[in-house]
Amino acid sequence: MSTEAFLRVDGPRVVDGRGRTVVLRGVGLGGWLNMENFITGYPATETLMREAVGEALGVERAALFFDRLLSAFFDEADADFLAGLGFNCVRLPVNYRHLESDDRPLQIIEAGFARIDRVIEMCAARGIYTVIDLHALPGGQNQHWHSDNPTHVAALWRDRTFQDRSVHLWESIADRYSDQAYVAGYNLINEPADPTDEVLGPFCARLAEAVRAVDSRHILFLDGNRYATDFSVFTEPWDNTIYACHDYAVAGFARGGDYPGYTDGQWVDRRSLEQAFRRRTEFQRRTDTPLWVGEFGPVYTGDPVRDEMRYQILRDQLEIYLEHQAGWSIWTYKDIGLQGLVHADPDGPYLQRFRPLIDKKARLGVDAWGSTGDELAEVMEPLHELIAKEFPNWRAYPWNARRSTNDIVRYILFAQALLDEYAEYFRGLTDDDLVAMADSFAFASCLRRTRLCELLREHAER
C-alpha cells in the first residue's frame, strides 16, 4: 500500500503524502463493535443485554447469534454502498470489551482486532479511510448508555486503574495499525464528560504521549468535554491533531419542534445552527486547526411533514460545513429505522419478532435517543415537580435536573427492568432462526432511506 495515502495535519487542512487536501466526509458505524439500544432494539446497555441473552440462550448459542450479527452488520456490500455515496471516511466506534475483558484486564483479545482489521481492509480497498474511535472506555468516560455504562457515574475520571487500562489499550491499537495508511487516525475518547474539568486535559496528554511513543505518524482526534462540545480544557494545539466537535441540532432530536421554530424555548433556524457550530469550533478556528464534525444528524419521526424539516436541518448543516471547509461523519450508518442511512426491514425476522418490545420501549420512553422525554407523563411529571421543589440546588451534570432524572429513571431503571423481557424473545428459537434474525441487519435485507442517502451523496462529492 502506497505511503502517499497517509494523512497528516497541515495547519487548517488535512493532506495526503503528496500534499493534496483531503476533506474527510463519511459516516459512523454505530451499533457494530459498540452496540446501542436504539440502533439494534434492545433495552439498557450492551453488556447487560448480552448477559441477559446469554442466560436465555446459553453461552454457545448466544455467541452464534452475536458473531453472526457482527459479520452481517458490515460486509463487502456495505463497503460498496458507502463508496458509491462518495464517502472517503468511516468512523469505527469500538467498545473496549471487544479488545480486553474486565476479568482479564490488560490481556488483548485477538478476535476483536480481527474484526477491526476486516473492516479497515474492506474500506481501504475502496479508497475509504477509517477513524478508530474508542467509544466505550474502561469505567465509562461519560454518564450514558453509549459508553456501555450501566450507571450515571463516569468512573474513568475517578479511578487511575481504568485510566491505566485505557492507556495500555491505545498502545496496543497504535502498535497494531501504525503501518496502515488508510487508517486516518485515532479518536482517543468519544464524548468525554469529566464533571471536574480537571482530569480530561492531563489524561488526553498522557494518552497522546503513549500513542505517539508507538506510532508518531497517525492523526490524533480529540473530542472536547461535555460530549465533544467544550474544548476549554485544551490550551496550545498539539501537532498532527484534529479537535473533533459533535454538532447535534436540538430541533433534530425526537423532542424537536418545527424548523425553523422553537424547541425547548429557543428559536432554531439556519443562523442559530451556524452560531452553535461556531461556538463549538471556536478553539479550532482560533488555533488554525482542521474543522471536523465527528457526529451530527437528525432523527426521523415517520411523519412526512416533520421529516421534511429534519432534511432541511441536515441540508443547512451540510451547507454550513461546506462554507467552513469542515469535514464530517454523520451518525449513523445502520439501525432499526430511527436515524440510519439504511435500516432493518420492518417485515424482516428481527423486527417482526421484537416489535412488541420495541413498541413498549417507545411507550415508556426508555431509549434516550428517540425518546421525547415526555412519555409516561402521569408518572414522570409529578416526579419532576418533586425534584424541582425539594432539590432546587441540585447541580445535575451534564445538563439539568429534568434530563438527569430521565437518565436515572427512564434510561437506567426502566430500561434495565426490560432486559429479561427482551431476552425472553430469544427462547424457543432454533439456530436457523438466530441466523435469520442476525441476517436481518445484512445489507441485502435492509431498506435504504433514499432521501437521506441522496442528500449525503450530493454533499460528499462537492
Mean pLDDT score of the chain: 97
With cut-offs at 50, 70 and 90, classify the pLDDT of residue 327. very high
- Contact predicate 375/365, CB 8 Å: yes
C-alpha pair distances (Å), 207 with each of 177, 201, 320, 329, 446: 16, 10, 32, 23, 38
Scanning 339-396, the segments in alpha helix (DSSP H) are 349-364, 377-390
Query: Could you read off the pLDDT of 398-455 as tens digits, one per residue?
Result: 999 999 999 999 999 999 999 999 999 999 999 999 999 999 999 999 999 999 999 9
Place of cell 418545527: 258
- Contact predicate 299/248, CB 8 Å: no
295 is catalytic: yes
The amino acid occupying position 167 is V
Q: What is the grid cell recorded at 13?
A: 487542512
**Domain ranges for the chain:** 3-460
Active-site entry in 36, 46, 100, 191: 191
Q: What is the grid cell recorded at 18?
A: 503528496
Query: Could you read off the pLDDT of 272-324 as tens digits, one per residue?
Result: 999 999 999 999 999 999 999 999 999 999 999 999 999 999 999 999 999 99
191 is catalytic: yes
DSSP codes of every residue in 287-347 = TT---EEEE------S-HHHHHHHHHHHHHHHHHHHHTT-EEEES-SEESSSS-SEEE-TT
C-alpha pair distances (Å), 338 with each of 97, 150, 335, 342, 417: 26, 23, 7, 10, 23
- Contact predicate 245/294, CB 8 Å: yes
Query: Could you read off the pLDDT of 148-163 as tens digits, one per residue?
Result: 999 999 999 999 999 9
pLDDT of 2 reads: 63
Helix (H) or strand (E) holding 244: strand 241-246
- 3-class secondary structure for 381-450? HHHHHHHHHHCCCCCCCCCCHHHHHHHHHHHHHHHHHCHHHHHHCCCCCCHHHHHHHHHCCCHHHEEECH
Query: Could you read off the pLDDT of 4-57 as tens digits, one per residue?
Result: 999 999 999 999 999 999 999 999 999 999 999 999 999 999 999 999 999 999
Q: Is the pLDDT reported for residue 1 higher than 70?
A: no
Query: Could you read off the pLDDT of 243-262 as tens digits, one per residue?
Result: 999 999 999 999 999 999 99
Query: Could you read off the pLDDT of 72-100 as tens digits, one per residue?
Result: 999 999 999 999 999 999 999 999 999 99
**CATH number for domain 3-460, candidates 3.20.20.80, 3.40.50.300, 2.60.300.12, 2.40.50.140:** 3.20.20.80
Query: Could you read off the pLDDT of 370-403 as tens digits, one per residue?
Result: 999 999 999 999 999 999 999 999 999 999 999 9
Query: Could you read off the pLDDT of 98-120 as tens digits, one per residue?
Result: 999 999 999 999 999 999 999 99
CA-nearest of 356, 384, 349, 253 to 309 is 253
Active-site entry in 36, 46, 100, 295: 295
